[in-house]
Chains A and B, each alone.
Chain A
Amino acid sequence: MNRSKENAGAIFCPQGDLTIYTAQQQKEQLMLAINRNTIQINLSEVTDMDTAGLQLLILAKLESLRRNIPLIITGHTRAVLDVIELCNLSGFFGDPVFIPSDNADKGAIS
């Protein structure tokens, strides 16, 4: 886990699969990443994501809304984008995402 303990805000940076198999531990990591000012998530190391993983992101987003702090998700990988697009949640997360050149469709809105 690449989690730093700086005050500026810890980054939740899951690696490998963000799926049901690791969801429990990753939720704990995510909780640690939530602090007073921001929630930061770096998804660049995520190779696969399922509903359990998606739920963690949704949880983070809902929590950020509740606390009225920004949620910053960076480094969306293909796997993550696919899921977010499938569920039409790009607008919900509202992050600027990098759109790979091979995919010119709707999907990402900033």
Chain B
Amino acid sequence: MNMEQAFQTFLAESAELLQDMEDKLLGLENCEDATESVNSIFRAVHTIKGSAGLFGLDDIVAFTHVVESVLDDVRSGSFVLDEQLINLLLQCKDYIGKMVDSIEGESVLMTAEDLQLQQALTNTLSGYLNKVHSTSPATMLVGINETDDYQSVSVIESDITIANENWHISVYFGVDVLRSGMDPLSFLRYLATLGTIVHIETVTDGMPSPEDMDAESCYLGYEINFHSNATKNQIEDVFEFVRDDCQLKILPPYAKASEFIAIIESIQTDELKLGEILLRCGTLTQRELDDLLHLQTSVKQGGTHRLIGEIVVADGLASSEVVTAALHKQAQGKKAKEKQAQTVRVDAEKLDHLINLIGELVIAGAGVESEAHLTGIGSLKESAQTMTRLVEEVRESALHLRMVQIGETFNRFQRVVRDVSKELGKDIDLQINGAETELDKTVIEKISDPLMHLVRNSIDHGIESPALRAERHKPVTGNVTLNAYHESGTIVIEVSDDGGGLNKDKILQKARANGLVSPDTELSAHEIYQLIFEAGFSTADAVSNISGRGVGMDVVRRNIEALRGTVEIDSEYTVGTTIRIRLPLTLAIIDGFMMKVGDVFYVLPLDIVEECIELNACHSEGQEGRHYINLRGEVLPFIRLGDYFCKSQRKAKRENIVVIKYGNLKAGFVVDELMGEFQTVIKPLGPLFERVPGISGSTILGSGEVALILDAASLIHLVMQRDGKAMSVAAQQSALH
């Protein structure tokens, strides 16, 4: 990997890490495992710092260093992450992102304004650092200045870090170990297979006088300086069988002094002697031992048992801390490798190319199958079918490659909600449902902006001010919910709020004033709501810098329609609003249902087809000119595709009606012939026919003929418009049954 590639990876990785950092920060307030979150935030900053150092980006290193130091203090429990600090860290995260974006060659070009911000942030951060050091005098005593020399990755610790690159294992066996048939020596021999025992000290202090000594009891303990690349778990497993029956402490490389103190204190032996044992083991240097004893004494003399308490707590938490520390030195490289093994970064272009090829393969496969059918050779037909099945599976998994969970996009809104609500002085919670719902990556990218607009709208216009909410007897905290789920071949994304809802009368009034609606037209509630998607329409009394200019919703609608999706609104005044976006699952290949009218083939997405029935004489009897049938007691409006598209007058002997369901609307399409399921590769129609209503694309059949892909959404709306309001109301009612 050359430097340029490495640099690209650095950029991508930084973006990911920062995103992760933001998610974790936002999640902290209602998070169960805060320690783990803090650790991963720390790791994010630490990794960026390390990588930036690699590229000689000193400015980033300097800034991240300060952030990291503060985080490290948080990690060691010096102070808690309160809301204020979270806000500060979020700002820092933004600023780091900005720095990474402004990298120009080997330097970071920031504007004077940004530098001021940096100064401000650094000052606030140092405020935290100073505070810590002044509140723990015991720490001050041992001097922080010496620690930095030990590690190349320098971290300002509030605790001394011991400069030992080996593990230290302290194990004291229980009295009954020998009687249970276990021999401590065998554990030591096994341990030696995991790495090198650099030095071992047998602690014999537990040995009683000869008269009291029971030859079948075990009195020994060991202090071991152990060099190994094994993980803490692996080392722990060595002692698995005696785990409950021994006092085992495993300190990672570069452990904290406090952890050594904990060992010294927990072991019933002469403190000085144990210190010397550690010294002999090579675990501690003489100076470190002196510092350690000094630290310990100063804590005791200070009369404050606070720090000792902390040490005990730290001891209890040792496993997570150990993991973190170990990650830093040893596991880091390993972890990166593991991660690489789990995911592969692929150029989006390559993926698109693959999908295109598979599209062609599907078409070619269909050709082979129809040819095979014509030959009538049984074995050939069978082979062709097997191939078709395999092609189908390949297609399925190729499309899955592009599928991404929507959760990540949703999570990005946490920050928006937090920032905007603060700006507006509202208290708003964002709830996320269906985060695991998957959809095409391209769709996700394109839906992100419209969603952002809708969320901002909900916060700004939807949720009322706290005063008004109180007046309406609602909880002061407003709720914005993002929801995603699959429904009949489409994905539905909902943005709901429990805010003020839409004021129908006001919208209608405004629409009439703007001339969007003629004064004497009566509109259903649903139609009135759709008005807000019209260009230049805004009911907001005041235009804020967030929304209200009447541009947004129009753009939202157009963006969504460009994705062959639809958007609709449910709302109740003073209760809340739900905006529902319906999108096709994927843009490239669909399972289609093929039909024929005259000589023309049409394809509908299979998932929206409910059923097919024969349109017989009794259906149309006495209903000339009216376009609906009685489908088991429901009113079903229908459209003759032949009439709509080509006006072919030739009536087929038998006609079929295909019932489709889109959202809560149902309609029938009358066709001549049903051809059945068909894998459809959607080809765009080209600019000339792009605007033809009712058609969303074309596809090429195995025979080389072209089939048109119907746009169910716009056709249904055509049906509704044609039949007028009365019909649509009836249809809606029937759909409810």
Contacts and interface: CB of A to CB of B under 8 A. Distances in A.
Interface string B189-214: 10010000001111010010110010
Contact of A52 (B189, B192, B199, B215): B215
Contacts of B219: 55
A59 B202 contact: no
Contacts of B179: 20
A58 B221 CA distance: 13
Contacts of A23: 178, 215-216
B715 interface: no
Given A26-B215, A52-B216, A87-B200, A59 B207 contact: yes
A44 to B, nearest CB: 21
A17 interface: no
A92 B207 CA distance: 14
For the complex, would chain A's binding face be called helix, strand, loop or mixed by DSSP majority? helix
Contacts of A59: 207, 210, 213
B185 A54 contact: yes
Nearest to A62: B207
Interface in B312-347: none
Given A24-B216, A51-B183, A87 B202 contact: yes
Interface string A44-77: 0000001110111011001100100000000000
Which of A52, A54, A86 has the most chain B CB atoms inside 10 A of its CB? A52
A27 B185 contact: no
A73 to B, nearest CB: 16
A24 B215 contact: yes
Contacts of A51: 177-178, 183-185, 218, 220
Contact of B178 (A20, A27, A58): A20
B188 interface: yes
A83 interface: yes
Contacts of A88: 199-202
A78 to B, nearest CB: 15
A71 B361 CA distance: 88
Nearest to A22: B215
A23 B219 CA distance: 14
A89 interface: yes
Interface string B343-366: 000000000000000000000000
Given A27-B213, A56-B215, A92-B202, A86 B185 contact: yes
Interface in B214-260: 215-216, 218-220, 222
Nearest to B182: A51
A80 B107 CA distance: 65
Contact of A55 (B188, B201, B209, B220): B220
Nearest to A25: B215
Interface residues of A, number: 24
Interface string A31-43: 1001000000000
A106 B203 CA distance: 20
A85 to B, nearest CB: 10
B204 A58 contact: yes
B177 to A, nearest CB: 8
A3 B493 CA distance: 91
Contacts of A56: 215
A78 B126 CA distance: 62
A20 B183 CA distance: 9
A54 to B, nearest CB: 7
Given A51-B185, A83-B185, A87-B200, A31 B210 contact: yes
Given A24-B215, A51-B220, A92-B202, A86 B189 contact: yes
The interface size bin for chain B is: 20 to 34
Contacts of B188: 86-87
A80 B597 CA distance: 96
Contacts of B184: 51
A109 B590 CA distance: 81
Contacts of A66: 209
Which of B177, B185, B192, B216 has the most chain A CB atoms inside 10 A of its CB? B185
Nearest to B186: A50
B248 to A, nearest CB: 16
Contacts of A62: 204, 207
Contacts of B222: 87
B202 A55 contact: no
A83 B192 CA distance: 13
B459 to A, nearest CB: 68
Contact of B215 (A27, A63, A83): A27
A54 B178 CA distance: 12
Nearest to A24: B215
A89 B202 contact: yes
Interface in B679-698: none
A52 B178 contact: yes
Contacts of B207: 55, 58-59, 62
B174 to A, nearest CB: 12
B461 to A, nearest CB: 76
A48 to B, nearest CB: 11
B176 to A, nearest CB: 12
A9 B184 CA distance: 32
Contacts of A27: 213, 215
A43 B213 CA distance: 21
A26 B160 CA distance: 48
A65 to B, nearest CB: 10
A34 B215 contact: no
Nearest to B205: A62
B269 to A, nearest CB: 14
Contacts of B218: 51-52, 55
A29 to B, nearest CB: 10
Interface in B158-184: 177-179, 183-184
A20 B199 contact: no
Contacts of B215: 23-24, 26-27, 52, 55-56
Contacts of A52: 178, 215-216, 218
Contact of A63 (B185, B210, B216, B220): B210
A62 B483 CA distance: 74
B195 to A, nearest CB: 15
Nearest to B201: A88
Nearest to B187: A51
A87 B173 CA distance: 14
Contacts of A24: 215-216
A57 to B, nearest CB: 10
A59 B202 CA distance: 13
A93 to B, nearest CB: 11
20 contacts: A20-B183, A23-B215, A27-B213, A27-B215, A51-B177, A51-B185, A51-B220, A52-B216, A54-B185, A54-B220, A55-B219, A56-B215, A59-B210, A59-B213, A86-B189, A86-B200, A87-B185, A87-B202, A88-B201, A89-B202
Given A51-B183, A54-B185, 9 more contacts: A20-B183, A20-B216, A50-B185, A51-B220, A56-B215, A66-B209, A86-B192, A87-B200, A88-B199
| Pairs A-B, 6 closest by C-beta atoms | A23-B215, A27-B215, A87-B202, A50-B183, A88-B200, A51-B184
